[in-house]
Amino acid sequence: MVTAEITSFSTGKRDFVPNCQRGQEKCYRYLVRLKTIRYAIRRSRNHAGQVVSTYGMRPDLTGHRGNRGGRNNGRPLGGDRAMNAQRFRIRSGSAKCLLMATSALTLALMPSIASAQDAATDPEGEPTVTSQGPQTTTSDTEIVVTGIRAALESAKEIKRKSSTFVDSITASDIATLPDLSVAEAIGRIPGVTISRFPQGGASPDFPSPEGRGNLVRGLGFVRSEFNGRDAFSANGGRSLDFSSIPPELVGGVDVYKNQSADLIEGGIGGSINLRTLEPFDSKKDLFVVAVDGTYSDLRKKWSPQASITAGKRWNTGIGEFGILGSYSRSRLDSRIHGWQQNAPMPRVLNAAGQVPETTFTGANKVNEFAGVDPSQIVGITPGFQLRTNDVDRERISYYLAAQWRNDNVQLTGKYIRAENKINSIERTFEWFPEHDTGTTAGVSDIVLDKNWSTAGTSMCSGPGGFPSNPGDCERLIPIRGGLMESGYVTNNADSWTGARGSAVGSLGIGKIEEATTEDFSLNLKWNATDRLFITLDGQYTKADARQRSIWGGMNTYLNWKIRHDLDNPSIEFLIDPQHRFNPNQTRFTGDRDATATTPGVYIPTPTSTADFNGSSWQFAADQFQVGTGELKAFRGDLAYDVSGGEGLASWFDSVKFGARWSERSQINQEMALNWGSIAPAWDGRGGFAVAGTFQNPSQGFEAVNFADFFRGGVVQGANNAFVFVNQDLLSSYANFRNYLNTEPQLANGNYGWVPRGTSDGSRFGSPIFRPSDISDITEKTRNAYVRVDFKHEFDNGMSVDGNVGVRYVRTDLDSSGFQAFRPFVDDIQTPAVANGVRTRTDDAESRDDIRDFSPQTVAYAAQQAIARTLKLKDEHWLPSFNIKWNLNREMLIRGAFSKGLSRPNVQDLRAAQEYVVTINRLNFPQITDRNDPLFGIDRGAQNITPGEIRVSGGNPFLKPTTADSFDLSYEWYFKGGYLSVAGFYKDLRNIINNGSLPLGVLGGGGDQQVGSVTLDGRQVPIIYNGAVNQAKAKVKGIEIGYQQFFDFLPGPLKHLGFQGNYTFIDAKTTPPQNGVDSDGDGVPDDVITVFRWGVDDLLGQSKHIANAVAIYQDKVVEARLAYNWRSEYLTTYRDYVTGNPIYNSAAGFLDASLKFNIGNLQLRGSIANILDTKSKARSYIDASGQLYDRFSFLNDRRIVVGLLFRI
């Protein structure tokens, strides 16, 4: 008896197929001709208990347990993953040799498949390994499939053999796709979309230069895993920021769309498991060096990246050892451009067809529309924002893995360290209606779209409106006169400064983000007997993250001509000839009479928008966040083979038990934005800081050119550069504080901002946190599960297999923090007469502060912070059922049901809260008679009383979001490809949204039951505004996936392939609830808790998602052209600028990559965003669902060139 040889699918190495005699040429020929994996191999026994190999059945190999729940599948502990010689018995007969050879070949290929059902149960899920060289045939018995083809073939087999619904990509996929991050590579999987914008907050207009996360089937409740373990970071969330993961670390990615009992809970949307490389993945020593450069065309800059990976294996008398290490470092310098505009606002056209400048008072604004025919009301959009954001990301990773194994035991240890640093400088130049002080601008030369109308839209945008009567904002005004397309925006008021024009803001933000994660893990697999298999796993992770932002805000005064178009907008800025700053101005009358200002020396009219004499420093802000945490976890799994029974018992294949314990502790220190004035005229301190009057203006300020904004043509005319706080100050806290302390105009402390950090000489600074900023959370979880695997073969050639199980989950939460109170600011004593000019009445000072009316309220707000610790627990039973009906050799039907949960973000569970008392101020009626001595004079207030107590911060009483999930699919696997159609349905409960509730509704005990407090004779409500369990949702849809290589075509066409998928999702949820209306006026007390129009779409959910990838691969060339498209989707229920829901528009991105394999050298290149696609969004502006343009963002096109050398 001799053995035949065949080369492994994945590694090119030779393995042995036993019991195939040399004379059985038929057996040998079939063995050689098998080039692809066609059949699922399962294990079975005959009535005598002997192992047999029949079609669709797996031979009995030590450690190879099939659909038995252990991740040892495909990994015999006594030899290479390509299957060293294993002997088994086979029935006699001429056909059996062919079947045996087929089984052996398939088993040889199994390691490259890295069976996904294994990865579901054991933390050490193995990566897919593919040769990096070209596809070759070196002899009649050697078949090597590599590159894109091997990667997709491997992913196909993972999907086919999985015990639940799984889609995968491999390391070759990540390396081949022209993607900036793992998240963007995963976005090629059916039903998976990339998160480039934040979801659910008030500011959905801050995109990332790289994809940071993923939604699965429109849901963001996604669990992130590293090698089947918790992926941990210290930023307060649970999902991993995939842009922080170097693709060089990843051997493969599995996306689980349903659950089995052995899967760790937490991903009702899906679970994404990143698998790292291991020493035993390669049968020979490994050494790979890669160097690449990325060119970002908006930034006009090259960024380098490099990696080195080395591995070695050797045999000893006590077993085999392997070690693999990797180091990578990459930098990406990118730029983002953004154009924004406001929602249409109703205004009345005058007889000249213009919108006149109107005084900003609530009464006048409301009365403006009284008795006016809607045909005379138009929607105007004079607002704009130009934004650039330069983002510099540096990513460093260290990875070391070591393995040892003998015939029965395998031990794997891993160490991962990932460091990420992001430095960004953001600049915005903007004006939105009702942000201006005192007046609103007028519009002339209006071009209208007369075909546009609305039955009723809100009177004003989100952050503006009427401070004295916010409810007026929610009045719905019909518009029948048309929509502004372009116009000339002017403002002739002298404002607080004496300057003419609208106050356009130039804001610079310098931000630093740093994060480090270290992960240690140890995994033991032990084949205790022929039927008993034990896995033990331990993990320790520590992480830290910190962020720092510095804001510097300036004003200039301009008029402008504007044309709105998200694809091709235009704006031209003009300086009013009467523009003159008066630094000595001390009051503002709003009568458009510059002579009403205090006499003084006027600063010359600026010659351009880049002139420092035209801009003044208005405010500054800082913000800090520091988080540290650690995670400890241990799990044990025991699988017992119960196959071989008779009768009903013959249906049972294996039983698996397991338990897991984890403890996650995290201390987070995070302060809200700390804003304060620098030297604006309205500050009341006298004078204001005009940049041109500083002693060292070039050190503090810079003119930034916007001529190339959106690749040019948007900012027209000569005024295309604007003054900002210098980026050298914004990027360094030490520089910023030093400039404030040394510039003569500021060094005397003549500014209102109080920094929350101290200068320790570093760029980051040393933050000072208040008690309400600090939270300490420990979360312990205990899990146990049982899973039973079953299988049965029928006489008609069909077979069925699957699993049923239940998982028990208990979570114990300890959340500690402070219940802090915000005291009222000091009562600044302002004289009635200043510089010989009366500005207020003699008794105004005694009637201008809440201390003058409500002493109990003042004392309540001045309380010391109260420490508290909340101990909470919850328990869940999570059943699951998976079944796979194998119709024949190529087709199957798969079904699944599971109940799952996703826990709240850790940061949302913090006990730290801050109590802030709002006030109601009743002023004296305004005197309108200019001849009255009190005209324009401050008379104080008639009364100041407490309004309500608003509580912000965490909500430890949040419940997990739960879901019942159902899946059904038909899958057809044929030579060179597959076709699958899947349907899914999810019923979600306790979805967490930002909302407003009376504090007693949160539950718990003690102070949590307090819903109001009596202060100064008034019953003052206490309202919590933050994360609450509010919504339900139902999600259903279909997925279609198809891939094939066209080997049957003639000539070079046989090297072509295609991969495509389409997903349809129909999802509805409970519309977010408006905040508390304690005064019963029909409008929430806090206007930011007004959610307009009753939108019931889920955040981030596109109805249609599609991917199409064209592939070419021969011996030398690998090429891929990939297109990704998704339909519009909701990003927020309330936008800060408009107050409306925002929908990102449908968009498609085209990427390409090309590789040349020349011996051990690979030359490669790629280009991302070939079509220069913009990310656009529209706001939801009326009850009919009409949408209007909101913003457009443009990212770099990126070109990558590089080379890879391997031995």
Q: What is the DSSP letter of 1073?
A: P
Residues 6+ apart with CB under 8 A from 1092: 458, 474, 1134, 1139, 1140, 1141, 1180
Question: Which pLDDT score is estimated for 1004?
Answer: 39
Q: What burial letters (b/e) apply to 212-235, b meaning 16+ CB within 10 Å? A: bbbbbbbbbbbbbbbbbbbbbbbb
Place of tokens 């149960």: 121
Give the span between the Cα atoms of 174 and 131, in whole angstroms: 14
Q: What is the DSSP letter of 693?
A: G
Phi-psi region of 475 (alpha: psi -120 to 50; beta: other; left: phi over 0): beta
Backbone angles phi, psi at 504, to 5 degrees: -90, 130
The tokens for 618 are 């208005």
Backbone angles phi, psi at 733, to 5 degrees: -65, -35
In 1062-1123, alpha helices (H): none
Distance in angstroms between the alpha carbons of the first and the last residue of the chain: 36
The tokens for 531 are 């039927």
Give the span between the Cα atoms of 1021 and 1076, in whole angstroms: 10
Q: Write the CA distances from 575 to 383, 486, 491, 558, integer angstroms.
A: 17, 19, 11, 5
Place of tokens 């073969």: 793
| Residue 885 DSSP SS3 | strand
Cβ-count burial of 1094 within 10 angstroms (0-12 exposed, 13-18 middle, 19+ buried)?
exposed
Phi-psi region of 953 (alpha: psi -120 to 50; beta: other; left: phi over 0): left
Place of tokens 């999570």: 878
Give the span between the Cα atoms of 222 and 122, in whole angstroms: 19
Instruction: Identify whether the C-beta of residue 544 lies closer than 8 Å to the C-beta of residue 487.
Output: no
Question: Which pLDDT score is estimated for 997?
Answer: 63
Which residue ranges of the chain lie beneath pLDDT 70? 1-146, 172-181, 199-202, 234-236, 243-244, 358-367, 434-440, 461-471, 494-496, 583-601, 680-688, 748-750, 996-1010, 1078-1079
Residues 6+ apart with CB under 8 A from 395: 244, 246, 328, 329, 330, 331, 332, 418, 419, 420, 421
pTM for this model (two decimals): 0.83
Cβ-count burial of 330 within 10 angstroms (0-12 exposed, 13-18 middle, 19+ buried)?
buried
Which H or E element spans position 742? helix 733-742
Question: Which pLDDT score is estimated for 900?
Answer: 95
Give the span between the Cα atoms of 899 and 902, in whole angstroms: 11
Give the span between the Cα atoms of 558 and 495, in whole angstroms: 12
Instruction: Identify whether the C-beta of residue 868 lies closer than 8 Å to the C-beta of residue 817.
Output: yes
List residues bridging with 967 in a β-sheet: 896, 984
Looking at the chain, how many residues does it have?
1207
Give the span between the Cα atoms of 227 and 539, in whole angstroms: 11
How many other C-beta atoms are found inside a 10 Å radius of the C-beta of residue 279?
Answer: 21
Measured CA angle at 490 (ends 1134, 681), to 5 deg: 75
| Residue 747 DSSP SS3 | helix
| pLDDT tens digits, 1014-1028 | 999 998 988 888 888
Handedness of CA 990, 996, 998, 1002 (dihedral sign): positive
Query: Which of 1120, 1107, 1112 lies closest to 1057 in space, CA to CA?
Result: 1112
Which H or E element spans position 364? helix 362-367
Question: Which pLDDT score is estimated for 499?
Answer: 79
Give the span between the Cα atoms of 163 and 465, in whole angstroms: 57
Give the span between the Cα atoms of 205 and 340, in whole angstroms: 9
Instruction: Identify whether the C-beta of residue 849 lies closer than 8 Å to the C-beta of residue 938.
Output: no
Instruction: Identify whether the C-beta of residue 264 lies closer than 8 Å to the C-beta of residue 225.
Output: yes
Q: Write the CA distances from 1146 to 201, 497, 1095, 1103, 1127, integer angstroms.
A: 20, 44, 18, 10, 4
Phi-psi region of 943 (alpha: psi -120 to 50; beta: other; left: phi over 0): beta
The tokens for 366 are 């409301």
How many other C-beta atoms are found inside a 10 Å radius of the C-beta of residue 1033?
Answer: 21
Place of tokens 């070949």: 105
Q: DSSP string spanning 244-298?
A: GS-GGGEEEEEEESS--TTSPS--SSEEEEEEE--GGGSSS-EEEEEEEEEEETT
Place of tokens 């693999």: 324
| Residue 784 DSSP SS3 | strand
Which H or E element spans position 857? helix 855-861
List residues bridging with 659 in a β-sheet: 636, 784
Amino acid at 645: G
Give the span between the Cα atoms of 1198 and 295, in whole angstroms: 5
Cβ-count burial of 1005 within 10 angstroms (0-12 exposed, 13-18 middle, 19+ buried)?
exposed
Query: Which of 553, 571, 786, 542 lies closest to 667 in space, CA to CA?
Result: 542
Question: Which pLDDT score is estimated for 798?
Answer: 95
Q: DSSP string spanning 116-185?
A: HHHHHHSS-PPPP----S--EEEETTEEE--HHHHHHHHHHHHHHH-SS-EEEEEHHHHHHS--SSHHHH
3-state SS of 212-238 is CEEEECCECCEEEEECCEECCCCCCCC
Q: DSSP string spanning 371-428?
A: T--GGGEEEE---EEEEEEEEEEEEEEEEEEEEEE-SSEEEEEEEEEEEEEEEEEEEE
Instruction: Identify whether the C-beta of residue 508 lies closer than 8 Å to the C-beta of residue 730.
Output: yes
Q: Write the CA distances from 460 to 370, 376, 494, 1136, integer angstroms.
A: 16, 18, 24, 12
Backbone angles phi, psi at 119, to 5 degrees: -60, -20
In 650-700, alpha helices (H): 697-700
Give the number of C-alpha atoms closer than 13 A to the C-alpha of residue 804, restricted to the C-beta side: 4
The tokens for 808 are 């028990």
Question: Which pLDDT score is estimated for 425?
Answer: 97
Which H or E element spans position 338? strand 319-340
The alpha carbons of the chain give a radius of gyration, in whole angstroms, of: 34
